[in-house]
Amino acid sequence: MKAALEKLMLVEDDADIRTVASMSLEMVGGLQVRACESGAVAITTVKEFAPQLILLDVMMPGMSGPEVLRTLRQDPETFAIPVVFMTAKVQAEEIQALKQLGALDVIAKPFDPMTLSDQVKAIWERT
């Protein structure tokens, strides 16, 4: 049987969204969350935190979500960590392109803080 989702890394450059998502995932979902304000911070802390899943913003300054995913996939220690993108760009072709990069799924922004953890856990269960 698949292990329950307990540890998640959230990578989001917008402080307000990062706070709301973290609180939602921790308080509603009961998850242990490491919130990172940039892709570079995520890359430098991912091995130490060892998340089961990464929730990754697509559009960030410096290092975009897809660039973070490519970097993770090049390292044997982080290659297999599942990634779910969060983005306001949810046209079918955009979602398909993100999945082709290796994302499990895409969660639309704005998200509902009361159901975010359920969405994430449902995606986790499908893996």
pLDDT tens-digit series, residues 10-62: 999 999 999 999 999 999 999 999 999 999 999 999 999 999 999 999 999 99
Domain boundaries, the chain: 7-126
The amino acid present at 50, given as its one-letter code, is A
CATH number belonging to the domain at 7-126, selected among 3.10.20.340, 3.40.50.1000, 3.40.50.2300, 3.60.70.12: 3.40.50.2300
Q: Tell me whether residue 17 is exposed, middle or buried, using C-beta atoms within 10 angstroms of its C-beta: 0 to 12, 13 to 18, 19 or more.
A: middle
Q: 0.85 cut: is pTM over it?
A: yes
* Phi, then psi, of 84 in degrees rounded to 5: -120, 125
The DSSP string of 15-82 is HHHHHHHHHIIIIIT--EEEEESSHHHHHHHHHHH--SEEEEES--SSS-HHHHHHHHHTSTTTTT--
pLDDT band per the 50, 70, 90 thresholds, residue 1:
low
> Six-digit token pair at 121?
């856990």
pLDDT band per the 50, 70, 90 thresholds, residue 90:
confident
